[in-house]
Structure 1
Amino acid sequence: MNKPGKTLQEKVEGDASEIKQKYGTFAGVFVPTLLTILGVILFLRQGWVVGNAGLLGSWIIVSIAFLIVTFTALSMSCITTNIRIKAGGAYSIISQSLGLEVGGSVGIPLYLAQTLAITMYIFGFREGWQYIFPDHPALLVDFLVFGILFLIAFVSAKLAFRIQYLILAIIIAALVSVAASIFTADMQHEILWWGNYPGAPENNFEGISFWVVFAVFFPAATGIMAGANMSGELKNPKKSIPIGTIGAIVISFIVYMGAGYWLSKIATTEELVSNYNIMIDKAFWSPAVLGGLLGATFSSALASIVGAPRILQALGDHKIFPKGDIFSELAKNGEPRNAIIMTGIIVLLTLLLRDLNTVAPLITMFFLITYMMINLVVFIEQRMNMISFRPTFPIPKFVSAIGALGCLITMFIINAVFGLVAMGLVVGAYIYLSNRKLDVPYGDMRSGLFVSIAEWAAKRVSMLPEDNERAWKANILVPVRSSRELRGSFSLIQNLVYPRGSVSLIGISDTEEDDLTESLINFSSSFLRENTYARWSFIKSNNFQDAVLYSIQTLRGSFFSPNILFLRLLHDETYDEEISNIMANARMNNMGIQLYIEDTVAQLGRTASINVWMRDKGPDWDLDMDLGNIDLALLMAYKLKINWDAKLRIVTVVEESEVENAYNYLENMLEVARLKDAEPHVEIGSFQEALENMPRADVDIFGLPEEPDLKNLRSYVEMTRSACVFVADSGKENILA
């Protein structure tokens, strides 16, 4: 019999192996999530919560905690029905939305938190075990429990899920034993609706606050990712994660609310706050509750030791850390054996510490940061209104906002110091991963996010006055005939715009030149590698002059509209007339101009010194906001000075009688322009003599005349023995702004 073909959804979801995708909603999500939530807090701490807060106060605490995780679960359900979620659970969700850098910065601490949680669950199991067998050595119990957990996880997740059915039965028996006590005569205590918050035995009942009690209870509501961590091994994660997670949360909430009522009726306030084993002592059959306690801690550890390696496997798949791909390897049965071994080693080492109380709050912080990021992902997606955001499980917009805010507030309620430390570690991981320049295997919503921000900014900018001199930055348009001429000016252009400007490369040729197009792509990539924004386009034209004019006019309406035209003046006169016409058109279109003439011998030299030449301002030497055709030249020189770490001289040539006035003017101008590191320099005599006698620079910058004699401009290179740039203002620059 032929096997049925794949459904359309299976084809879209990808060709994951049958070995990996094999768990349904109940086994893969509902049971591990339920068992993780119904844990130690239920059996050992909820009585203390009720004793301190009273029944109404405890219900409020339970409701707030479950409201936060429910909203997070709703956000997670929403986003998982909008993406093809891969292995790694929360890491996969965040990575596919905000990129590998953000996903990895959260995924690494999430993996460590999940792994350290295994150790804490083992310690919790040992405490329950020693309640029965107080003489058993603690270290031996810990190692034996770890060995059993590791063996189960190493053999197969399928075996772990089968064992969880047994544990589920034990916990159900424990809850039945609790409920059965209703029929005894013990439930006769009067309900205390609002408690007095006496505290705990550890602080000699010196009193405690509502939020401290909330902080103690909140970890009970975490664990909602236990099923999502198995995302890579679910038959249908889009269906299983929402149904399984939300179903487990609803059942758990009912259990906690019911247990709170039972505890308020079964014991006095004094018993509740002083006896952590009150549920065991007051149950109809105590061994069943004790079994539930052991089962809860064991199942939580089992869910973590099965889920944590899946996160590490996903991190390894994307090479989040060096040599991490070793953890992405799978055994023949689909198990991430290397990731399981690494997780086991970490747990084994932490077992030797014997006490994780100092880092326990940090573990909770990492979970909360993960939950917050999931809510934030949905919050951003909802407000971007992108057509790709079409979840089959939509939620109201306020859900993700409240979920994110609730997680953030809860972090600082539980422990503000650890909250800041956790966020600092995540930010540090993000910086590290950003510098690694990871290879992203899939698209994410970052481009859409940045486009949305850019659209918002563009609309706001369009409402502002056009000539905003304080917001000026260099956006250079570079027409290109050949890649050879661009190579010669790449360094200069890059340093003229870095770090906030942009470069627009326009290739112009009368044929479809693949070499020129490839060069434009390569140069654009080179600018980007130098953290300089660059874009390129190709125009097929047999008229270079007209193509440049059309480019100026077309790009004028763009958001990053070019404000400077960069031209090279070659040493032969072939294109002189064309260059003159292009510059005239640029002036008519209010474009600044930079005409570069290369020194074929020295080129840009050591990029250590810059001379800017100013016309003398005599006889009045008055400084006003209009400096003439020098603003762009000074702004350009300042950019080069900063990026080259070069020496900057501002030069003017005057008669001997005007030297003092010239120095006063230059010093005053430099102070007003906030160019205090620049050196004023006054030359005496003729302009040509000054060109030849002036201290040498690597580049000399001059104002560009209205009708320049290009042959005469070439002679400046010989006289200064340096590269020269002739600059014309557009009228929108102001060095004094």
Structure 2
Amino acid sequence: MEQETEKKGLGTLEGVFTPTILTILGVVMYLRLGWVVGNVGLIETIIIILLAHSITICTALSMASMVSNIEIGAGGAYAIISRSLGFEIGGAIGIPLYFSQAFSVAFYIIGFVELWQSYFPTHSGLFIGVVTWAVLTAISMKSAQLAFRVQYFVLAAIVVSIAAFLAGPSQNPGEVVWLSSVGKVGFWETFAIFFPAVTGILAGVSMSGELKTPRRSIIVGTLTAIFTGLLVYLALAYWFARQATAEALLANPTIILDLAFWRPAIVAGIVGATLSSALSTLVGAPRTLAALAVNRLVPFAGFLGRRADDQEPRNAIFVSSLFSLLVIVAGNLDQLAQLLTMFFLTTYGAINLVVLIEQGSGIISFRPRLKVSILVPLIGFVGCIFTMLLIDKLFTLTTIVVIMIIYSILSRRERKLESPWGDVRGGIFTTVTEWAAQKAIAMEYHPRIWKPSLLVPVEQPEDFARVSRFVDSFLYPAGRLYILSLTDTPHGDAGLNARYDEVLKPILDKKIFMRKTLIHTPAVSFESGLYPLTQVLLNAFLPPNTILFTLSDDAAKQTQMERIYHTMRSLNTGLLFLHIHPKIGFGQERRVNLWLRDKSPNMNLAVLAALQLTRNWEARLTILRVVEEDALVESVTADLELFIEQARLPVDTAVRVLIGDYCTHMQSLRADITIMGMPREYPQMVAFAADFPGTILFVRDSGMEDAYV
């Protein structure tokens, strides 16, 4: 990994640690931590703090590992996710992440309003909230530098306020609220209300595009802030439990003021913490929105992604501030806390999943400077999902549905989202495929899993165009198609590829699995190159099980095709030789005749081919057999009807048992396609097809098909 180049921007302390710790030591610490202790007691509060921090620590370590592997650029957590899983998944997570950040602004402002109203209960909370919002919006519109310039004073005020609280008098001397029996809110709901306290880990990451050395700053600044916050919360939780009764902690959200040695210090700390958290989030959220807009993932992308001359995303700041204003008007602190918890848990889970996938897939491009055990992202991911389900199953389901809807919308856009740096989605599917391949190879083959997998050797795209309709009908919906082209035209020739794209479009439009292999063979004939290349494909994973050739009316090709015919019969694969009538073609695609000899060795593939064509054409299938005398008609008819039942053929399948000469009846009974077993001699097949008054398909079993299963 190349050394990260120095550039003008924010340092670790200013750009990551300080905004992160200020967001962590925010409104929950002052106005809800005491309530949490009073509601569930100190023991369960410690569990809540450790559980919440275990998720954020794992997420931070995963994020740090990811950041040490890539140049993150602008967008923070969204950039991390999109650079691994693509713009669609990045956008599906990044858009809810942006809203959670925008809502966080309202969360902190509402916390400030609660404090204000504890001093001035007659003042309108809505008015105070709107005025505060307006001031913070004006500062953030000015510049990020101005917003971060005041944070050192706020950090100092918070340190002084914590000291004032720890030095305050006790209202409950000698007693510690280890357990609480007066709380009315359950453990997980209490956890949900507390969890926004630790969501500040993204505050510094959101500024990734403004940092001097984002890789180093995000790792050092975020981890230091998290562990500092953990120690502070554990210490304050113990002090709340020691200084007041459970009843007092529940009854008074601002009890920290009464427990402090010097009330003004607490007031200054709360004001600074809530407003600085709101301000730093109001600075960070628009940068996530701007990054989404630059990648064209949101409406009005040109407007939202535009930056001013000083590189401030003022349009995104304006829109983000409007979102937060709407939430200020509509929300309350506890409702917002649970909403933010679900949004942030979703984002944290996605970050852990990214690292889990990259590390677990064994992709060599994932070689971070900071390596973590695979257990770290696993614990973080499982912890996020488990916690979301325990908090609110319905909301979890709703969140997942919203993400899936956004992903679906982004995936279906006409303008494909192509990442300039690539992503690992192909590696994910490759890893899954490798695992599945190992399992499939280890299992014994059974005819029950047979489905059409067709190899079509051609010299030119037009050769395939002639059989395209048959191939479509034979394979749809779950079959596989392999095109093997041996040509003296270089495979990189744009004209050749364009011709193939045109003839293969009907197949691709139906989502049929297709693989095209173009072999440039200037010094090798089609015939001599076909056999070895076919063997290669037949020995690959997911090989074709049937090969299709056409019977040409061109006498010049008959000698070559006869040699190919005998060569291919030596392979352990199904063979189809198709002769399309030059005038009739496939007719109306309404009638399929299947001729079955008694104890025919080619019966199984013939039946399966007839079944595929009948289904896709919505045609009527007729099974025919010729007997030598009248006495056999009744018993043979009964045998064929029993076969139809045992093979589970369509209920409208007809049976006709004829007496006399086989060839005579074959020539007289017409259908849109006639299917029969393949003769041993090629000239016999050619002669029969030349005189036949319709399209005919000759079939040879491989021994791996079974029409009865």
Q: TM-score normalized by structure 2?
A: 0.91
Q: Report whether the alignment pairs 1:303 with 2:280.
A: yes
Pick closer, same or farther for the CA change 1:292–1:641 going to 2, 3 Å.
farther
* Structure 2 Cα separation of the partners of residues 599 and 338 of structure 1: 66
How far did residue 641 of structure 1 move?
4.3
1:735 matched to 2:671? The reply is no
CA distance in 2, matches of 1:694, 1:91: 66
Partner of 1:549: 531
Show CA shifts across 1:488-530 (max 9, x none): 3334324433444332222212454734455446666875554
2:77 is aligned with 1:98: no
The more displaced of 534-543 and 652-661 is 652-661
Partner of 2:317: 340
Partner deviation per Cα, 1:228-253 (whole Å, 9 max, x = no partner) = 12222222221111111111101111
Which residue pairs with 1:501 in the alignment? 479
1:290-329 to structure 2, matched below 5 A, reads 290-321=267-298, 324-329=301-306
Partner of 1:47: 34
The partner residue of 1:400 within 345, 356, 377 is 377
1:283 aligns with 2:283: no
SS in 2 for 1:226: helix
SS of the aligned residue for 2:201 comes to coil
| Mapping for residues 210-249 of structure 1, pairs under 5 Å | 210-249=187-226
1:352-391 pair list within 5 angstroms: 352-354=329-331, 361-391=338-368
Q: Which residue of 2 aligns with 1:478?
A: 456
Amino acid corresponding to residue 256 of structure 1 in structure 2:
Y
Residue of 576, 592, 596 corresponding to 1:611: 592
Indicate conservation of the 8 Å contact 1:47/1:279, yes or no: yes
1:481–1:132 Cα change, 3 Å = same
Structure 2 residue 474 is the aligned partner of structure 1 residue 487: no
Q: Deviations over 1:567-617 (max 9, x none)?
A: 2223322212222222222221112122233344454455x5351413143
Q: Deviations over 1:122-156 (max 9, x none)?
A: 32222222223333323322222222222223232
Report matched runs for 1:430-579 at 5 Å.
Answer: 430-436=407-413, 438-441=416-419, 442-465=421-444, 467-510=445-488, 512=490, 514=493, 515-516=495-496, 519-520=499-500, 527-528=507-508, 530-531=510-511, 532-540=513-521, 541-579=523-561
Q: Conserved in 2, the CA contact under 8 Å of 1:55 and 1:191?
A: no
Report % sequence identity: 36
Partner residue, 1:649: 621
- Alpha-carbon contact 1:506-1:539 (below 8 Å) kept: no
Q: Match for 2:406: what amino acid?
A: A
SS in 1 for 2:206: helix
Q: Is the 8 A contact 2:593 2:671 kept in 1?
A: no
1:391-417 CA distance string (max 9 Å, x none): 101112211111111111111222122
| Secondary structure at 2:454 match in 1 | strand
Q: Is the 8 A contact 2:453 2:544 kept in 1?
A: yes
Please give the secondary structure, in 2, of the residue aligned with 1:560.
coil
CA contact (8 A) 2:171 2:259 kept: no
1:565 match: secondary structure: strand
- Distance (Å, rounded) in 1 between the aligned partners of 2:473 and 2:10: 57
Task: After superposition, give the CA deviation of every residue in 1:41-88 in whole Å (9 maximum; x if it has no partner).
Answer: 111111122223333332222112111111111111111111222322
Query: Residue 85 of structure 1 aligns with which residue?
Result: 72
Distance, in Å, in 2 between the alignment partners of 1:252 and 1:68 is 14
1:584 lines up with 2:566 in the alignment: yes
Alpha-carbon shift at residue 338 of structure 1 (Å): 3.0
Question: Is residue 177–residue 246 contact of structure 2 (8 Å, CA) maintained in 1?
Answer: no
Distance change >3 Å, CA 326–CA 522, structure 1 → 2: farther
| Pairing 1:598–2:585 present | no
Contact 1:612 1:633 in 2 (8 A): no
In the other structure, the counterpart of 2:677 is 703
Are 1:123 and 2:110 matched, yes or no?
yes
User: Post-superposition shift, 1:418?
Assistant: 0.9
Count of aligned pairs between the two proteins: 699
Q: Residue 608 of structure 2 aligns with which residue?
A: 635
Structure 2 equivalent of residue 9 of structure 1: 3
Q: For each residue in 1:316-375, what CA deviation from the matched residue of structure 2 results, as whole angstroms up to 9, or x when unmatched? A: 233234653543332222222332233233334444435586675343212111111211
Could you tell me which amino acid in structure 2 is paired with residue 705 of structure 1? Answer: P
Query: Does the CA-based 8 Å contact 1:46-1:217 persist in structure 2?
Result: yes
Q: Cα 1:120–1:328, aligned 2, differ >3 Å: closer, same or farther? A: same
Distance 1:83 1:295 in 2: 35
* Structure 2 contact 553–690 (Cα < 8 Å) conserved: no
Question: Which AA in structure 2 matches 1:456?
Answer: W
What residue in structure 1 maps to residue 173 of structure 2?
Answer: 189
* Displacement of 1:688: 5.2
Quick check: 1:648–1:677 contact (8 Å CA) kept in 2? no
- The question of whether the paired residues in 1 share the 8 Å contact of 2:88 and 2:417 is answered with no
Deviations 1:424-478 (A, max 9, x none): 222232233333373221321122222222222222233222x421222333222
Matching of residue 72 in structure 1 with residue 59 in structure 2: yes
Contact 2:31 2:111 survives alignment (8 Å): no
- AA of the residue aligned to 2:220: I
Structure 1 residue runs without a partner (length 5+):
1-6, 200-206, 618-625
1:142 matches 2:129: yes
- The answer to whether structure 1 residue 330 and structure 2 residue 307 are counterparts is yes
Aligned with 1:270 (options 220, 242, 247): 247
Q: Which runs of 5+ in 2 are unaligned?
A: none
Matched with 1:204 is none
Rate the CA distance shift 1:170–1:56 in 2: closer, same or farther, 3 A.
same
**CA 707–98 in structure 1, closer or farther in 2 if over 3 Å, else same:** same
Amino acid at match of 1:590: N
Q: CA deviation at 1:660?
A: 4.6
Task: Work out whether residues 372 and 407 of structure 1, in 8 Å CA contact, stay in contact via their aligned partners in 2.
Answer: yes
Partner in structure 2 of residue 31 of structure 1: 18
In structure 1, distance between residues paired with 2:209 and 2:688? 68
CA distance in 1, matches of 2:150, 2:633: 94
Aligned residue type for 1:114:
Q
What SS class does the counterpart of residue 391 from structure 2 fall into?
Answer: helix
Aligned to 2:202, the other structure's residue is in SS state coil
Aligned partner of residue 66 in structure 2, secondary structure: helix
Q: After TM superposition, give the deviation of residue 548 of structure 1 in Å.
A: 1.0
Q: Is the contact made by 2:20 and 2:203 (CA closer than 8 Å) also made in structure 1?
A: yes
Q: Distance in 1 between matches of 2:337 and 2:38?
A: 24
Q: Read off the aligned partner of 1:369 and give its amino acid letter.
A: T
Matches of 1:692 and 1:419, distance apart in 2? 66
**2:45 match:** 58
Cα distance change, pair 223–700 in 1 and its aligned pair in 2 (3 A)? farther
Tell me the residue number matched to 2:389.
412
Partner amino acid, structure 1, of 2:639: Y
Is the 1:521–1:536 contact (alpha carbons within 8 Å) kept by the matching residues of 2?
no
**2:137 touches 2:282 (CA, 8 Å); kept in 1?**
yes
Task: Output the CA distance in 1 between the equivalents of 2:337 and 2:236.
Answer: 25
Is this contact kept in 2: 1:215–1:413, CA < 8 A? no
Alpha-carbon distance in structure 1 between the residues aligned to 2:647 and 2:655: 16
Counterpart CA distance in 2 for 1:673 and 1:354 is 64
Q: Which whole-Å CA distance do the structure 2 matches of 1:729 and 1:44 have between them?
A: 77
